[in-house]
Structure 1
Amino acid sequence: MKNKIQLITYIDRIGCKNINEFHDLINTDLKGLFGGVHILPFFYPYDGEDTGFDPINHKEIDSRLGTWEDINLLSKDIDIMADLIVNHISAKSYEFKNFIEKGKKSKYSDLFLTYDSVFPKGASKKELSIIYRPRPGNPFTRFNFKDGTKKKIWTTFTSNQIDINVNSKPGIRYLEKIIDIFHQSGIKIIRLDAVGYSIKKRKTNCFMINETYDFIEQLTEKAKKKSIKVLVEVHSHYKTQIKIAKKVDYIYDFALPVLVLDTIFNKNSENLKKWLQISPRNIFTVLDTHDGIGIMDVSSEEDMPGLIDDQKLDEIINKIHKNTNNQSIKATGDSAQNLDLYQINCTYFDALARDETAYLIARAIQFFIPGIPQIYYVGFLAGTNDMSLLKSTNVGRDINRHYYSKSEIKKCLKKPFIKNLIKLMKDRNSHKAFEGQFNLIPSSSNIFNVRWVNNNHVAELFINLDKLKMRVKFSK
């Protein structure tokens, strides 16, 4: 993977109708800005109930967007990351419909995870209560089969997202086939979506248990044989992230978004500095994604302290709500159809009260710390909360999933503020210092100072948090 900034985007929300139009955008208006792109689900259908994360056919590109050949052609010009949706498949898929029609006689019967397969003798209320899921209630949906029987099926996220039995022979073949297609189509890296929920075992919380680590390791080895890197997507306590990082190619730095807000809001860099002293280096850094701003990634868990004191974290959350004029409240928790109750939904620019100076400082911190930076398309254009889209869909995350037109994009790219961001991005992508050694310079809490050194090549970031001013130096 190139050590350059990557774009996270949907094809249809960045002014493009299909993959070919996006390819043109990468080679024109966005030329030279990104070393890679994470294309959010483009499978059939890309506009399902969960914006493509509920595929009817994971092995097929939605024909409205293009073909696998189009993806292959794009991969010649830019590294592509694609989602491997590990945990589930759509209830509208051929495989699940066949299971509903034929029951145990279906060749896909073992592909899906039933209540009985984990709890053959039933489960106590206590066993069910400890199962972790990102929304209230039990993770089961009762389905009516054609023969008149009813059966509980695991549905960790929604009743339209049917959990896969990833350890069954059909489950193994299903995931291996997708990896094969990715390999043939030039995909360089896969993001393991919702993998933390993929292994279920009685008397556990069914989230990131020991067997899950084994499964991730096995899946990573299969991808490596196809020359595909693996990025694991898990929101969890920071110690869990450190543990996962030892077994895979890359993980996300989901702690960073809130740590940067903490640094800027409180004019204190101590929590961020402490994290940088222990954080994994095989990491993708983000401030924003298609999901919300993660809270559990920095909070405490049972008797384990978090990266930020819980009381201070509450203050940060309230500050975000205040900065967004409470728009984030309307999109977060049970205020809208949210799957993830541990995230705050709003744009990162709005979280910083649309303060251009603070926003550039936040991006500079992201670009200067270890890891491969990813920038979400809304964040790249410093987008604001889309309250109209939120109102029309009542889906909390849609507040940060604006549909840009080509003219909107061109207008944004002309803004002096965005031009400054682009200059910073180009320097991050091209300067040789970032291939060298990272140094966290000792400083007082109101200062954040880091330096990269690669022989005679030096890049340095110095931020005075009291004055909210930064100085960026690049050797020639």
Structure 2
Amino acid sequence: MDKIIQIIERIYSDGFNDALRGKLISRILEGKRNIISARKQGWDESDVVLITYADQFSAANEKTLSTFRRFYNNYLASAFPIVHFLPFYPWTSDDGFSVKDYYQVAPDYGDWRDISAIKKSTRLMFDFVCNHMSAESEWFKGFIDQRPEYQNFFITVDPGVDLSAVTRPRALPLLTPFTFADGETKSVWTTFSADQVDLNFANPNVLLAMVDVLIHYLEQGADYVRLDAVGFMWKTPGTSCIHLENTHLLVKLFRAIADIVAPGTKIITETNVPHKDNVSYLGNGGDEAHMVYQFPLPPLVLHAIRTQSVSTLKRWASVLPPKGDGRTTWFNFLASHDGIGLNPLRGIIDEQEILTLVDTLENEGAKVNWKNNPDGTRSPYELNVTYMDALTPPVCNDDERLARFTLAHALLLTFPGVPAVYIQSVLGSRNDYLGVERLGYNRAINRQKYSESEIEALMAQPENLRARTLEALTQLITVRQRHPAFHPDSEFSINEKCHGVLEIIRGNAQEEKITALFNFTDRPQSLSLGQGQYQELIRGEFINGNAITLGPWQSLWLN
């Protein structure tokens, strides 16, 4: 508790009085008393996360969480012991990330009893949308109505203030005009959209309110807590308003509170930014995030497969800070509900290579979202495309499509850290152009929803790409979960064995060592590991190390 008070004093100085301090401490102790079940301490090779929406599957006359629970238990439970539900609270836009009420489950999805029922067979990851909330929320309505309890809950700015230095993640206005109860129109800070109004953490009462939300999620069973868009939490005009010192202190505060209320809870920061800024959220290794999203991995794997060259991927991965002390690790993924972020590539490959990749995929049907730069120009911010379609030109057949996809996910599962797989990848989804047309935004291309009967009928066809994809991923994950060399903290080295072939070694000779080989080319590759016999874990075959041949897009895990 002393650590929490020290952080508070650094953020607010004398602005956090004894009454506020008493409320904070009281709520933390109440949350600690309310939590009965213990969290898993640390992580291991069995931990694989499924990223999904709460309304991903539907059935007639049934709440979607009930439908999801049945589908999960029938098809996904053996491979995915952790489920990350994207925001399942009442919302008004951005597929859940514009939250109306932090304390409720969206009625169409179910209620907290449904979350509790799912919790019986899996661990859960909740989204804490801490930077902003819906313009239709009661909090913001109270602010517009000028009710005293919501005074300064959000941020108003004189339009004449110079905000040109502020980092812009979207090509949308930073400020949105709203008319208040007294008839005055004021400009309100809206980083992401007019319906997503930024909370004012400079107001200590906002901090108390958001700490209450965090503890509520812990009480409802969150094992992992994802801090969404966390880099933008603190605003100081005249600065970039991203990654500011007080933002880092707020993350440290959330971590310290979770450590008291529910020890073992994992705090994960979502910051789709260049690598050096992203890893800064690990703090000193024990006082900030437990995990950070490995944002460069999706575009770098895509770049390697599209160029049939592993040099850039290898160069980046070989200088990753080692994680082996059990205090922090990477949260690895290839696809998510958002697009494939391009900002994390900046500083790793040059801008022209990024633009070439964007042009190639856009010509093949991918969508592109753009961001505004301080100098008035704009740059591509993300590619909107399913990972299946990103990896493979449309002219290829499903056998090659699945081979490239399986290679990418074998690499994901080999990397140090905790892997996460998005539901559209699990289901082998292709670009949903009808969804883009119907909903009117690019990200809908990778957010298709399904009726339970529809998806089960497809999974019942062994030759269908969706069924083959689920089978291939389940097999890879099952093998990973049996081998301690894949522990997130085990030793890691990476080499370019020959052009287009990547070698990753996990573990050590004293315990278990696995040599993983990945052929990122469309031609067979022959090589030698030296004298000796290896067991290939994915297929269960035995291979002579003196003469190994990898087929096009093939991966091997050799023990």
1:103-252 map, 5 Å: 103=146, 105-115=147-157, 123-124=160-161, 127-227=162-262, 228-246=265-283, 247-252=288-293
User: What whole-Å deviation, never above 9, does each CA across 1:437-474 have from its counterpart, x for those lacking one?
Assistant: 22324523421011222544343321233323424235
- Give the paired residue count: 449
> Partner of 1:385: helix, strand, or coil?
coil
Corresponding residue for residue 80 of structure 2: 34
In structure 2, distance between residues paired with 1:348 and 1:204: 35
User: What whole-Å deviation, never above 9, does each CA across 1:234-259 have from its counterpart, x for those lacking one?
Assistant: 11111111222233111001101111
Contact 1:135/1:157 (CA < 8 Å) preserved in 2?
Answer: yes
Aligned match for 1:97, one of 128, 137, 141: 141
Corresponding residue for residue 264 of structure 1: 305
Q: Which one-letter code corresponds to 1:146 in the other structure?
A: A
In structure 2, distance between residues paired with 1:419 and 1:31: 13
In structure 2, distance between residues paired with 1:14 and 1:106: 42
Q: State the shift of 1:320 in Å.
A: 2.0
Q: Which one-letter code corresponds to 2:280 in the other structure?
A: K
Q: State the shift of 1:215 in Å.
A: 2.1
Corresponding residue for residue 296 of structure 1: 343
Corresponding residue for residue 51 of structure 1: 95
Aligned match for 1:360, one of 391, 399, 406: 406
Q: State the shift of 1:412 in Å.
A: 3.7
Q: Are 1:13 and 2:56 matched, yes or no?
A: yes
> Partner of 1:81: helix, strand, or coil?
strand
> Partner of 1:129: helix, strand, or coil?
coil
Q: Which one-letter code corresponds to 2:493 in the other structure?
A: N
Q: Are 1:462 and 2:517 matched, yes or no?
A: yes
Contact 2:231/2:243 (CA < 8 Å) preserved in 1?
Answer: yes
Corresponding residue for residue 303 of structure 1: none
The ranges of structure 1 where at least 4 consecutive aligned residues each deviate by more than 6 angstroms after the TM superposition are none
RMSD, aligned CA:
2.1
Contact 1:69/1:185 (CA < 8 Å) preserved in 2?
Answer: no
> Partner of 1:107: helix, strand, or coil?
helix
> Partner of 2:141: helix, strand, or coil?
helix
Contact 2:170/2:370 (CA < 8 Å) preserved in 1?
Answer: no
- Pair member with larger Rg: 2
Structure 1 alignment gaps of length 5 or more = 117-121, 300-305, 335-339
Q: Are 1:74 and 2:118 matched, yes or no?
A: yes
Q: Which one-letter code corresponds to 1:379 in the other structure?
A: S
User: What whole-Å deviation, never above 9, does each CA across 1:68-116 have from its counterpart, x for those lacking one?
Assistant: 2322332232111111111111111112212222x2x421112212216
Aligned match for 1:312, one of 339, 353, 363: 353
Between stretches 437-446 and 243-252, larger displacement belongs to 437-446
Aligned match for 2:483, one of 428, 431, 456: 431
| TM-score when normalising by structure 1 | 0.89
Percent identity, aligned pairs only?
29
Q: State the shift of 1:419 in Å.
A: 1.6
Q: Which one-letter code corresponds to 1:287 in the other structure?
A: L
Q: Which one-letter code corresponds to 2:120 in the other structure?
A: K
Q: Which one-letter code corresponds to 2:177 in the other structure?
A: R
Between stretches 277-286 and 6-15, larger displacement belongs to 277-286
In structure 1, distance between residues paired with 2:556 and 2:266: 32
Q: Which one-letter code corresponds to 2:316 in the other structure?
A: W
Corresponding residue for residue 119 of structure 1: none
Between stretches 33-42 and 423-432, larger displacement belongs to 423-432
Corresponding residue for residue 33 of structure 2: none
Aligned match for 1:328, one of 348, 366, 370: 366
Q: State the shift of 1:268 in Å.
A: 1.5
| TM-score when normalising by structure 2 | 0.76
Contact 1:459/1:472 (CA < 8 Å) preserved in 2?
Answer: no
